[in-house]
Amino acid sequence: MAFHSVGALLNEAAHMPLWEAVLADDCRDRGVERAESLERMGALWRAMVRSAAEYDPARRSASGLSGGQAAKMAGAGETLCGPYMQKVMETALRVAEQNACMGRIVAAPTAGASGVLPAVLLPLQDRLGLGQEEMVRCLYVAAGFGQVIASRASISGAEGGCQAEIGSASGMAAAALVHAMGGTPGQMADACALALQNMLGLVCDPVAGLVEEPCVKRNVTGAVNAMACADMALAGVASAIPCDEVIDAMAAVGRAMPAALRETGEGGLAATSTGRKIAQRSSGPAR
């Protein structure tokens, strides 16, 4: 992987579109031809589309904590956020619940954060009438920023807290949205930086150790955050802290988190009285 900094990614994007720079790096890194890289990313996009389309509101996870929530969001009627944002929230829940119910998803960058990218990209595709080719380019942009985050910090909740999962996904999604709206590479970096700042310090505290509560709903938060940050960046609202420094700060915060707040199920919401009761119930004999 050539890109260990957003700065290096932006330097390469001075000579070609940013998504092209990421594609070229993928070809070099894996020793494949351009067509093979494009087909692989296209397959990931098609799988992402299916992860939302195959959602079944009747399905429930083994714990009973997940299932049917996306349908509630879809049927909520008039919402404060309006129809478009409602669709974003519904899609985030669809895919996150699909994951919890053992359906097929695309880990982007992780299974627990799998709802964020499709939540922002699928409604946008419908709204703007974008083809698969453009959506694949969005995924390359997201992958480029995700690669830097993984290299400089972490995309693992066990290592860096939920900021490393939902936070990373939100930063990746924000950058991809800016690309889709015709923004500059610098604005993509600003959008990613702003999104990560808003998620800085987010703990990983899964109730009963399951990637369900609060994980499913956090996918919604990550998607909405990405949209707000993309809009800010496109409007010219820049991050005062460069994206690479934000990522480095995220890494430092992750290292400073106590183990109880890094996917162990021993702190945060998991440690509440109700959280412990759910854990006891989940670990009991099968019914």
pLDDT, tens only, 22-77: 999 999 999 999 999 999 999 999 999 999 999 999 999 999 999 999 999 999 99
**Residue 135, pLDDT above cutoff 70:** yes
Q: What value does the mean pLDDT take over residues 194-207?
A: 98
In which region does residue 239 sit, left (phi positive, over 0), alpha (psi from -120 to 50) or beta (all else)? beta
Q: Where are the domains of the chain?
A: 6-282
Is-above-0.75 flag for pTM?
yes
The pLDDT value recorded for residue 134 is 98
pLDDT at position 203 is 98
**Does the pLDDT at position 219 exceed 60?**
yes
Across 1-5, 25-29, 228-232, 276-280, least confident range? 1-5
* Mean per-residue pLDDT, 152-165: 98
Residue-averaged pLDDT of the chain: 96
Res 285 pLDDT > 60 = no
